[in-house]
Amino acid sequence: MLTIYGVYCSRASRNYWMAEELGIPFQSVPVIQARLLADPLAADAQINTKSPAFLAVNPMGLIPAIDDDGLVLAESLANNLYLARKHGGPLAGADVREEGEMTAWTLWVATEVEPHTVKIVLTYDNAQENTPEGKALIEACVRGLERPLARLEQHLQTRDYVVGGRFTVADLNLAEVLRYAMSETHLFDRHPAVTAWLGRCHARPGFEAMMAGRRKEAQAA
Ligand SMILES: N[C@@H](CCC(=O)N[C@@H](CS)C(=O)NCC(=O)O)C(=O)O
């Protein structure tokens, strides 16, 4: 049985979406970010990223982590590559060449894109988007995203999906990292092939199921 540690409103969304795409059973342990709690170590605190019980799973104190029949992994995008490889099917690489492309695109999004998109989403989470500092930070991140988005735009001008002509784990990993920057609509308006591809990814029932999980979680909070 697959266990996903982490709340839907975190990078764990990537692993929840993947589990939905694969149609595999999973259980969820809703470990919340410690920074969202006044006293994460209080005896009655919800299990969080500083809880000893969670640190025993991921000593880095970061969500998500997964436990798949005793194999514990704790990098959201790598978790998805593993799940694709394990379960196979259209989400996974059909051969070692496709696997190579999926790994390359995933490392590309983690290193060239995520540092910018995460800063954008956190600026909004912290309600700083209209402060001078927040605006300057977002503008700098948008500038940093120009080249990666131009690269992806060029790639998607001649194909509907990133690898292999079908929706794969590579699309899922990229789409979830880029979602953090979607507030910057002008950036996406300038990249129509990327925008159309994101629309295709977001039209998937697996994405909708994950987003429903996010809404349910927000209502319960
Ligand atoms: N590279 C890691 C990053 C994980 C990460 O930074 N997770 C955040 C939540 S999205 C976290 O656990 N933060 C701890 C906290 O805010 O207390 C991954 O992709 O899994």
Beta carbons of 153 and 191 less than 8 angstroms apart: yes
pLDDT at 38: 97
* Domains of the chain with bracketed CATH: 2-87 (3.40.30.10), 96-206 (1.20.1050.10)
Residue 221 pLDDT > 90, yes or no? Answer: no
Distance 99 CA to ligand 1 centre (A): 25
Distance 4 CA to ligand 1 centre (A): 14
- Ligand 1 atom at shortest distance from the alpha carbon of 50: 17
Q: Compute the distance between CA of residue 31 and CA of residue 47 in angstroms, rounded to an integer.
A: 5
Tell the residue nearest (CA) to atom 19 of ligand 1.
Answer: 76
Beta carbons of 28 and 16 less than 8 angstroms apart: yes
- 80 Cβ below 6 A of ligand 1: no
pLDDT at 78: 98
Residue 215, C-beta contacts closer than 8 angstroms, at least 6 positions apart = none
Is the pTM of the predicted complex or chain greater than 0.85?
yes
Tell the residue nearest (CA) to atom 11 of ligand 1.
Answer: 62
- 62 Cβ below 6 A of ligand 1: yes
Residue of 4, 8, 10, 82 to mutate, ligand 1, most atoms within 8 A of C-beta? 10
Beta carbons of 21 and 79 less than 8 angstroms apart: no
Q: Which residue has the tokens 């129509």?
A: 192
Span 104-114, average pLDDT: 98
Model pLDDT for residues 169-208, shown as the tens digit of each residue:
999 999 999 999 999 999 999 999 999 999 999 999 999 9
Q: Compute the distance between CA of residue 68 and CA of residue 144 in angstroms, rounded to an integer.
A: 36
- Predicted confidence band at 96 (pLDDT cuts at 50, 70, 90)? very high
| Edge-to-edge order in the sheet of strand 2-5 | 26-29, 2-5, 65-68, 71-73
Residue closest to 5 by CA, chosen among 34, 22, 28 = 28
Beta carbons of 188 and 125 less than 8 angstroms apart: no
- Ligand 1 atom at shortest distance from the alpha carbon of 76: 20
